[in-house]
Chain A
Amino acid sequence: MNNYTDILFEISRSGRTAYSLPKRDVPTISLEEKFSKVHLREEAAKLPEISELQLMRHYTALSNKNFGIENGFYPLGSCTMKYNPKINEDVARYRGFTNIHPLQTTRTLQGALRLMYELQEDLKVVSGMDAISLQPAAGAQGEWAGLMIIKAYHEKNEDLKTRRKILVPDSAHGTNPASAVIAGFDVVEIPSNEDGTVDLAALKQAVGEDTAGLMLTNPNTLGIFEKDILEMADIIHGVGGLLYYDGANLNAIMGITTPGAMGFDIVHLNLHKSFSTPHGGGGPGSGPVGVKAYLEPYLPIPRIEKTGNGFELNSNYPLSIGRVKGYFGNFGVNVRAYTYIRTMGARGLRKASESAVLHANYLRKRLEPYYDSPYKQVSKHEFVLSGNRQKKLGVRTVDIAKRLLDFGYYAPTIYFPLIVEECLMIEPTETESKETLDEFADAMIQIAKEVEDTPELVTGAPHHTSVKRLDEVTAARKPIVRFE
């Protein structure tokens, strides 16, 4: 199957179909009479013409060239590639969830509204916040919504003109500074110190009356808990700034602490990470935004509220940042997250985080003799290694990543965070068995040995995939982004 290389348009033959439309039961009108000539297509869109079996073979062949969680271990750091439960998929496909229109009257959407309301209640508990909006479609949109709340809050206090700076640690996800800019802020990068946490002295120096807020992931992208978080919160609040929590790494702390307890004012959560909804090859995700009570008036509208008469929508929040996403957000994704929380309960979520952290530390311990481990403190749900030792032997981190593909694993996140040279960022998650962790560790150890003995085996990898290393330079120099 891996030899299949056809593109849809290459197997297309005029006259084949793979659809079955309802029979026409109304008159056919004259298009020429109804529309003016300029409205009608001169040339039909050249969509492929294939039979239904051809279609299924095509996509089945493509799926065989794609690696998902059920194909094997997926230790992609900061992405929390945990198992995506099947029951979530079944439930999300109930016609009472898929075949409902977002603009139906609330009277006809009570089940959906109840589900969303209850999910908000659950996420309040898990995040330690007082109010949640499910509208943002993904983490980056949640960040943006959160930053817009910061903006609206300062505007209300009439000091937005001076508060233009969002502080972001140098280890932060790239979305943090990008979101801050599209919310209209200037970004100030705060350096990390040698132990991988925010440099408090640098933070103190950077804050002032121009500080709008600080964005932080905790544990951070190095998998290290920012233990000075309370002091950082004091520093930011002391100058009138707000604290924003990037929830990408929540999987380390569920049931153990909350962003609310740490002093954060605003959070977003990635339901496609900690709450098991599938990544879909890049999306859809869901990135609810949560706030402390005093920021509730700024949340996106409409809000879902419980009344004596069932669940209702309320848009009467004059301070709200408005609408950030169509309708209710990615409802179908939220159904899956709700199902997951109902499956796990409080104890299950805590056990998930405990196992995720245990796995990360165990795997790190097994790999430390073979790869540089730049930080010494205990890891949370993920950890970073550096391929510096291997680089001296002429093998780069990208080579190690590619070699892992030959062993039937996906690769860790590489070259991120930017502050670690030749970085490998590994997140095993709680849903992997110890055997899988051990087998992966054995593969990594074998690769470390190959780097010493047969480096060309590593630099030439992957050897067993459907394509070998791809020419990204030509792809970017002479982009071909559609079939010609």
Chain B
Amino acid sequence: MTNNKNNLYFTKDHEWVLVFESNVARVGITKYATEQLGDIVFVEVPELDSDVTIEEEMATVESVKSASEIFAPITGTITKVNDELEDSPELVNESPYESGWLAEIQFENEEELAQLMNQEAYENYVKELKEEEGQ
């Protein structure tokens, strides 16, 4: 994962958003999310060229006995999807930040990014969650 912390964002639902130039963001789920889901057996990626809306369902990630919706972290249009997940959903477990990415979104409203967490804030958020679980 890139070290440039300025262009990396996180949601409370454990998605990461990596912003490239020209308003394109790559989206995936975090390691914490994959640990919660267990072995991922199928990923339903969004359709190419489809429009997604922030906080609305965008993709589905399935384990053997659960199906979890992934919500769009930002509003925009899907410009690329990770086709490799169709045959190798395990990439999400093995490499959530690299080869396990889900899709790329072309977005317009940069202000939506302001609602997301930076890496430090997300790490603290996860730490709190883990502490709660430990109790």
Contact = CB atoms under 8 A, between A and B. Distances in A.
Contact flag (A, B; Cβ within 8 A): yes
A128 B121 CA distance: 60
A40 interface: no
B64 interface: yes
A477 B65 CA distance: 12
B9 to A, nearest CB: 30
A473 interface: yes
Interface string B26-68: 0000000000000101100000000000000000001011000
Chain B residues touching A, range? under 10
B73 interface: no
Interface string A458-476: 0000000000000011001
Contacts of A472: 64
Interface of A, secondary structure class, is helix
Interface residues of A, number: 6
B115 to A, nearest CB: 28
A288 B22 CA distance: 61
Nearest to B65: A415
B89 interface: yes
Nearest to A477: B41
Interface in B89-103: 89-90
Nearest to B90: A477
Which of B41, B62, B65, B90 has its CB near the most chain A CB atoms (within 10 A)?
Answer: B41
A278 B32 CA distance: 45
Contacts of B64: 472-473, 476
A274 to B, nearest CB: 28
A477 B64 CA distance: 9
Nearest to B62: A476
A463 B51 CA distance: 51
A410 B62 CA distance: 28
Nearest to B41: A476
- Counting chain A CB atoms within 10 Å of each CB, the highest count among B42, B62, B64 belongs to B64
Nearest to B88: A477
A476 B40 CA distance: 9
A472 B64 CA distance: 7
A415 B65 CA distance: 10
Contacts of B42: 476-477
Interface of A: 415, 472-473, 476-478
15 contacts: A415-B65, A472-B64, A473-B39, A473-B41, A473-B64, A476-B41, A476-B42, A476-B62, A476-B64, A477-B39, A477-B41, A477-B42, A477-B89, A477-B90, A478-B87
Interface of B: 39, 41-42, 62, 64-65, 87, 89-90
